Amino acid sequence: MTDASQAPPFRREDDAAEQGRPPAASPVSTPVAPAPVAPSPAGSHQGASSQGAPSRRPDWFHRGHPVFFPLAGFYTGMVGIIVVPGLYAAVVKWIAGYERAEELLPFVVVVLALPLGLLVPARTRRFARYLLLGMFSTLLVVGVVAAGVAWFLYNRDT
């Protein structure tokens, strides 16, 4: 049997416990000690303290998780491509009328300036890349499905 210091690290904590070894530290996240919570007087709101200290985040809110920004960026891009042009057209039509809305519809392309602007600072670059991925993959899927439906309908009529 090999020495414990030469054994490969275990990925699962229960495997490490079965072998009598402490679990290896996770490279994904580092443990954070919970913030001390002062006892609150009866009848006060649990989330806020009377001293003005910030309240503790919920347990499900993991902004430091490695997939938080990619998922948020991707789905923001997807919603941006689907919702923003329709909402823009509806608001302009409601305010200025149908003919003017048709004239102003090409200005919705300005929506692409947001992800391009987010690519400039290094801090938002990762989010912007996934935002663009979400936008372009949504356009690709919608285009392929529309082409497939058009092809099916064309071949059905001929």
**Residue 39: per-residue pLDDT:** 59
Task: Work out the average pLDDT over 123-148.
Answer: 94
Please answer whether residues 126 and 69 qualify as being in contact, where contact means their C-beta atoms are separated by less than 8 angstroms: yes
CA nearest neighbour of 142 among 64, 85, 72, 62 = 85
With b for 16 or more beta-carbon neighbours within 10 A and e for fewer, the 75-87 pattern comes to ebbbebbeeeeee
More confidently predicted of 57 and 73 = 73
Task: Work out the average pLDDT over 123-136.
Answer: 92
**Residue 131: per-residue pLDDT:** 94
Q: Cα(87)–Cα(97) distance, rounded to whole angstroms? A: 14
Q: Is the pTM of this model over 0.75?
A: no
Least confident of 9-23, 51-65, 103-117, 139-153: 9-23
Quick one: tokens of 142? Answer: 């919608």
